Structure 1
């Protein structure tokens, strides 16, 4: 199975001091993982000020020894625990390959392009990375993360560009879309309004996937003009055979960015961070239930807050209800101003078949 951990420096000195702390902490963790034949599969780096921190990060021992050349994504979404930099690490003992493309614009590529053009450019860049393989966006792209600066202004261009690309690639409301988070975030490139991460899994078939719904809690996204799935369950065989010929399967649940929304697509509990948190957790539970999973199968939460002053309230709530599940809370505006909070997660469980 996979393992997910979140690492934040306890040191509160300079940015370099914090990177050195993470270097030691991650090194110890990966040494332990090697003893269990587990390897680093991907890492997400959350920064508080990417333009000023990126050079120091890339020159650090942490980056040079552990992160350089790995499946890596770096995004400016300030960790609200005061750490300046936090890591989300995935290790695995499985041979199932994944492709993780963290696509970013250069200053030259970004300048003079609006959010529609930048989004279109990045999706086309992704399509070129799988060109010449037997993979397609429609079958093999499992999840995206779309980071948008000034999201209140730029999100509509992202929505329109994604829809146009999907129409061209055969993804529609009648077929399916892709699990996704569209959220506030930035890169070190000043004129880049958009950045996208793509998670692709080779050698899968459409029947390996189930698109999760909870229509008594959340409506279909296409009803309000956006093109993503609320969640996707992926079922893949492991290499483990059990007694009586049963085959073990790993089920992964990719839950998209989820907020306080009702079955009509309306924002619920405007202005109330506590009740919005409760509603979105209820929505996530309903989506997981559609795939025969529960909240106890969640491996981690990423929690996005519009207002940093809500951090302690949300952190206390999560500690009260899900203390065993790793979480990171970051500052990131959600795509509708009325949403004070959004969460995403990945859940995993094992199943067996005697067929």
Structure 2
């Protein structure tokens, strides 16, 4: 097993000493899987990891899941991480409906498996061939240990003053239209939030909406969300929630919309910053949608910056570089960098990216372009048309930077 010339101690020590995101590759033994990961370790000694694993040879989905599981366990073992340190796994699948039996048969990809519990999401977004399924995972390594438990479709991480909540695969199939299903999703989610003394406005940091046939069903989502947000006081004069709304087939055939979400209980509004870069991107409400371009959350020794789905757009909401996917990626990265600079961060602080392309033939180009610009940062390139047909690529991700905020809780 190899890690691009570095051993585990060198990797961890470099991250700990620099308090900066460090990206690496890992070569598992006996399985054709590419593994990339990012690590950030703050002054507190708490380390955060993001992993991206992708099969590099053809195989049926059952075989590819075996490969992924083996590679995943190998890299965790090599980094001295317990499986129980995992808080979130997203499986990006070429055909989640037909692949569901195999996903359920593997413990690490089964949303109901509780030994140990983890938030598990399935999304129908075909990855770059030959992969039929790829894995994105987040882990937290605290020398003092972490306490996690499941509450329905949500994983809850108890951190004393704070609690972190990852909700996955939320659907509203008791209704038919994308508008009504979105309404049902929020009704159910608000019940969960209320049960844990949280609200949409004060505690939800990030959402992801996966829309089947986005060119048809996206309008129902955004109208339903906008109406609800207005009732909850989420407006252009207050704030919205960082979000991505993108093509993605929910695992349930009747679902037109599915949601993943992340909330933090106990958070003080002084910890949260809503990010704009008006010289690059205009406010979203100008063209009828309601989400923040980015949201930053500060803790005692670090800041998380959640970048919403970001495309090649100008301040007036126009598409930049129509028809040229490579130049659109460059502009999207420029926009992300502009948002990060508002927080004192840069592209080198990103722990990874999702890249959504409309045309499957662009996947390889986007992968190679990321590699040329950003090196070994984890990147998942999937087929997932953006809400406007002229946008050929959209990107999102999270950055982490070191801070010194003794007045705030530990992450």
TM-score by length of 2: 0.79
Counterpart of 1:242 in structure 2 is none
Q: Which whole-Å CA distance do the structure 1 matches of 2:387 and 2:81 have between them?
A: 43
Structure 2 CA distance for aligned equivalents of residues 304 and 67 of structure 1: 29
Q: Output the CA distance in 2 between the equivalents of 1:8 and 1:314.
A: 16
Deviation at 1:80, TM superposition (A): 1.4
| 1:199 alignment partner, one of 233, 247, 262 | 262
| Correspondence 1:93 to 2:145 | no
**Segments of 4+ in structure 1 off by > 4 A?**
33-38, 64-68
Q: Tell me which moved more, 279-288 or 317-326.
A: 317-326
1:102 aligns with 2:172: no
Alignment deviations for residues 102-152 of structure 1 (CA, whole Å, 9 cap, x no partner): 143375x24xx1110010110111001112332111111000000001111
1:57-102 CA deviation, whole Å, 9 max, x = no partner?
1012543699653111111100114210101010112454421111
Question: 1:10 touches 1:18 (CA, 8 Å); kept in 2?
Answer: no
1:178·1:228 contact (CA, 8 Å) conserved in 2?
A: yes
Aligned pairs, how many? 341
Q: Do the aligned partners of 2:94 and 2:127 also contact (CA within 8 Å) in 1?
A: yes
Q: Structure 1 residues 170, 50: closer, same or farther in 2, change over 3 A?
A: same
| 2:59 is equivalent to residue 13 of structure 1 | yes
SS for the counterpart of 2:397 is strand
Pairing of 1:43-58 with structure 2 (within 5 A): 43-58=89-104
Q: 1:125 to 1:36 in 2, by over 3 A?
A: closer
Tell me whether 1:308 sits opposite 2:356 in the alignment: no
Gaps spanning 5+ residues in structure 2: where?
Answer: 1-46, 147-158
- The answer to which structure has the higher helix fraction is 1
Query: What pairs with 1:1-355 in structure 2 (closer than 5 Å)?
Result: 1-35=47-81, 39-63=85-109, 69-94=117-142, 96=159, 97-105=163-171, 109-110=174-175, 113-237=176-300, 249-353=301-405
CA distance in 2, matches of 1:235, 1:209: 7
TM-score, normalised relative to structure 1: 0.91
8 A contact 1:47–1:85 mirrored in 2 = yes
8 Å Cα contact 2:367/2:379 also seen in 1: no
Are 1:187 and 1:195, in contact at CA under 8 Å, matched by a contact in 2?
Answer: yes
What value does the CA root-mean-square deviation take over the aligned residues? 2.0
**Structure 2 SS opposite 1:291:** coil
Cα-to-partner distance string for 1:267-290 (whole Å, 9 max, x where unaligned): 111111111111100000000001
- In the other structure, the counterpart of 2:44 is none
Query: Which ranges of structure 1 fall in alignment gaps of 5 or more residues?
Result: 238-248
Distance 1:38 1:3, change over 3 A: farther
- Structure-2 change in CA distance of 1:354 and 1:35 (3 Å): closer
Q: Is the 8 A contact 1:106 1:189 kept in 2?
A: no
Relative to structure 1, the CA distance from residue 251 to residue 67 in structure 2 (aligned partners, 3 Å threshold; closer, same or farther) is farther
Structure 2 contact 303–403 (Cα < 8 Å) conserved: yes
